[in-house]
Structure 1
Amino acid sequence: MIRLDNLTKVFDTPKGAVVAADHINMEVPRGEICILLGPSGCGKTTTLKMINRIIRATSGKVFLDGEDTTGMNTQDLRRSIGYVIQQIGLFPNMTIEENITVVPRLLGWDRTAYKKRARELMDMIAMDAEAFLKRYPSELSGGQQQRIGVARALAADPPVMLMDEPFGAIDPINRAVIQDEFLKMQAELKKTIMFVSHDIDEAIKMGDRIAIFREGKLVQYSAPDDLLSAPRNGFVESFLGEDRALKRLNLVKVREVFSDEMGSVKPDDTLETALSRIDDFGYQNAILMVNDRGEPAGMITRSVARTTRGYCRDHYQTAPPVAQLDDDLRKVASLMFANDTTWLPCVDARGRVCGHITQRAMTHHLGSRYRSRPEDSAPLRSQPETKE
């Protein structure tokens, strides 16, 4: 959907020519999010802004959906691309509705159509249309304004969106919420997005592909898992940080690692039965007790089962936390550490026990990727190797 062909920008300065973007070659498939990462001044924002000609390229071409944009009218090009920036850029003298519908009105949409679109987008960004559409930007919080900025970029339903650190100025709690909401929207809308960020964790969470820049050059362009497991050189490895193995926890879901083998007992089972099943299935010398609906109801420990007579319903401890199948391993690891355990029961969408996950299984899964590193995590098109 987006293809950059030897895209280059050279700035003339009093001290001579400065190459801000050096023959960038990239392809972003339709419906994917590509995150541009790198230190300040590395060329990522320059590359982004050349796509909609906020900065004009010195040489090279930009293709959108296979069409060379070189001959396109600049205003038409910009109106066909959604654009979100960190400073948001809402017009202070316009209502929220007027801000959202700027581009549809410029494109000549019917009044009924653009008003309807504004309400649809307010629902999409989880803001009450009745409460907010007639307000002005100064009456909204920073996080709310940022959501409106995203809605405005989506108003004319552009196939391509450019986002320049759109969540960078928002506090961590609201940023995580907005990121989650944006990913939910993206799952439905399937826009093709290029997204500048300084936050590696944000890039791993948000991106289908990540491009690492250095001194105007594209150093590595890979899927997040390939990037973390096989950094191309020392610069990429140091940029990702020494905890890059832990960062991969964000990328793996419980359903990829858990085992569907799970021993359990019912409240009416005897402690003798519990002891037998602990020998067969127990983790940390205990067995899970489930109710008639298959939901976690408690734990029976080996010490209790071995020294006490009676039924499980009378001698259980509190059930451990559970892992949902769509949880990522970072959340699971956090639960394990917080509860001093090396395993958790797993539940399905209805809360029924469907297996278990262990620390050992997580470690093995992550380590297996390093033991079978891809030979090459090069970009989709050939890119000159960056020398250290």
Structure 2
Amino acid sequence: MIQLDSLTKVFDTPKGAVVAADHIDMEVPAGEICVLLGPSGCGKTTTLKMINRIIRPTSGKVYINGEDTTGMDTQDLRRGIGYVIQQIGLFPNMTIEENITVVPRLLGWDKARYKERAREMMAMIAMEPDAFLKRYPNELSGGQQQRIGVARALAADPPVMLMDEPFGAIDPINRAVIQDEFLKMQQELKKTIMFVSHDIDEAIKMGDRIAIFREGKLVQSSTPDDLLAAPRNAFVESFLGEDRALKRLNLVKVRDVVSDDIGCVRPDDTLEAALARIDDFGYQSSILMVNDRRQPVGIITRSVARTTKGYCRDHFLGIPASVNLDDDLRKVASLMFAHDTTWLPCVDDDGRVCGQITQRSMTRHLGSRYRALEGDVSPNATALTDTTPKE
């Protein structure tokens, strides 16, 4: 959808020519988010602004959906591209409704249509239309204004969006909420988005691909997993940080690692049977107890099963935690560390046990990507059986 062909910008300054963007070649497929990342002054914002001609390129071309935009009227070009900036840029003398409908009104939409569109956009960003549409920007919090900025960019349903640090001025809690809401919208809308950020964690979370810039040059453009697993050079590696392997935990879902090979007991089973089931698995120091709906209700530890007589229903401990198939491995690792455990049960949306995840399986899954780069295994190789020693 977006293609940059040798896009270049040279600024003339009193001290001479400064190359802000140097022959940038890249593509963003339709429906994907590409995050431009790099230190201040590296050329990422200049590159973004050349797409909608806020900054005119010195040379090179921009193609949108295969069409060379060089000869397009600037106003027509901009009206077909949503634009969100860090400073939000809402018009202070306009109501929220008027702000959202600026572009539809410029495009000649009739009144009933653009008013309905404003209500649709408010619902999409989880803000009550009747409560906010007649207010002015100064009556809203910073986070609310940022949502309105996103709604305004989406109002005319542009196929392409440019976002220049759109969440940078928001506090961390609201920032995470707005990021999550935006990603949910993107799953439905499938816009093609270029997104400038300084935040590596934000880039990993938001981007289908990440483009690293340095001194006006595009250094590497890859999927987040490829970038973290195989930085192209020492600059990219240092920019990503020494904990880049841990950052990959955000990219992997439980469903990618879960094993359905999990031992369970029922409340009416004896502790002797529970001990036998624990021994069957060898590496576990406890076993999960489930009810008739296969929902987790407790655990039986090896020490209790080995030294006590009776039934599981009378000697179980509470479950430290469980995880959903759509949780990421960062959450899993955090729960494991917090509860000093090497495994957790996995449940589906109905709370039924569908497998387990272990520290070893997480390690093997992440490590397989590095081994694949060395030609040892396929990136999709199945994780090896857990070999954590017995208690």
TM-score range, shorter chain: over 0.9
One-letter code aligned to 2:212: I
Output the CA distance in 1 between the equivalents of 2:20 and 2:139.
39
* Structure-2 separation of matches of 1:22 and 1:94: 39
Deviation sequence 1:60-90 (CA, Å, 0-9, x none): 0000000000110001100110000000000
C-alpha separation between the residues in 2 aligned to 1:122 and 1:354? 37
Q: Is 1:255 matched with 2:274?
A: no
CA distance in 1, matches of 2:283, 2:190: 42
**Does the 8 Å CA contact 1:83/1:161 hold for their aligned counterparts?**
yes
Q: TM-score scaled to structure 1, two decimals?
A: 0.95
Classify the secondary structure of the residue corresponding to 1:372. Answer: helix
Q: Does 1:211 align with 2:211?
A: yes
Q: Structure 1, residues 150-177: CA drift from partner, whole Å, max 9, x if none?
A: 0000000000000000000000100000
Mapped pair 1:137 → 2:134? no
Partner of 1:273 in structure 2? Answer: 273
Look up the SS of the partner of 1:156 in the other structure. coil
Flag the 1:215–1:374 CA change in 2: closer, same or farther, 3 A: farther
Partner of 1:341: 341
Cα separation, partners in 2 of 1:283 and 1:321, compared to 1, 3 Å: farther
- C-alpha distance in 1 between matches for 2:128 and 2:240: 39
- Which residue in 2 is equivalent to 1:52? 52
Aligned twin of 1:170: 170
- Alpha carbons 1:283, 1:343 under 8 Å: kept: no
Among all aligned residue pairs of Structure 1 and Structure 2, give the percentage whose two residues are the same amino acid: 84
What amino acid is aligned across from residue 269 of structure 1 in structure 2? D
Q: Deviations over 1:290-326 (max 9, x none)?
A: 0111111001111211222111111111012011111
Q: Across the two proteins, how many residue pairs are aligned to each other?
A: 375
Q: Distance in 2 between matches of 1:17 and 1:292?
A: 74
1:120 matched to which residue of 2?
A: 120
The residue number in structure 1 matching 2:378 is: none
d(CA) in 2 for partners of 1:283 and 1:182?
A: 42
What corresponds to 1:308 in structure 2? Answer: 308
Q: How does 1:1-388 map onto structure 2 within 5 Å? A: 1-281=1-281, 284-373=284-373
Secondary structure of 2:299's partner? strand
C-alpha distance in 1, partners of 2:283/2:311?
Answer: 20
| 2:48 and 2:194 in contact (8 A); partners too | yes
Secondary structure of the residue that 2:6 maps to in structure 1?
Answer: strand
- Helix, strand or coil for the counterpart of 1:228? helix
C-alpha distance in 1 between matches for 2:71 and 2:374: 40
How big is the alpha-carbon RMSD for the aligned residues of Structure 1 and Structure 2? 1.0
The code of the aligned residue for 1:109 comes to: W
Quick check: 2:278–2:284 contact (8 Å CA) kept in 1? no
Shift of 1:275: 1.1
Structure 2 residues without counterparts, runs of 5 or longer: 376-391
* TM-score between both structures, scaled by the size of structure 2: 0.95
Amino acid across the alignment from 1:300: I
Q: 1:384 is matched with which residue?
A: none
Mapped to 1, the partners of 2:117 and 2:283 lie a distance apart of 54
Partners in 2 of 1:233 and 1:21 — Cα distance? 20
- Distance apart, 1:374 and its partner CA: 7.6
What's the CA shift for 1:35?
A: 0.2
Shift of residue 148 of structure 1? 0.2
1:230/1:374 contact within 8 Å kept: no
Whether the 8 Å CA contact 1:183–1:206 is kept in 2: the answer is: yes
Name stretches of at least 5 consecutive residues in structure 1 with no aligned partner. Answer: 376-388
CA shift in 2, pair 1:48/1:259, >3 Å: same
Give the structure, 1 or 2, with the largest relative contact order (CA under 8 Å, sep 6 or more): 1
Q: Distance in 2 between matches of 1:138 and 1:336?
A: 44
1:6–1:25 contact (8 Å) kept in structure 2: yes
Indicate the SS of the match to 1:211. Answer: strand
Q: For 1:8-54, what per-residue CA distance to the aligned partner results, in whole angstroms no more than 9, with x for missing partners?
A: 00000000000000000011000000000000000000000000000
**How far is the alpha carbon of 1:281 from its aligned partner?**
2.7
Partner SS for 2:17: strand
Residue 282 of structure 1: CA displacement? 6.0
Report the AA paired with residue 212 of structure 1.
I
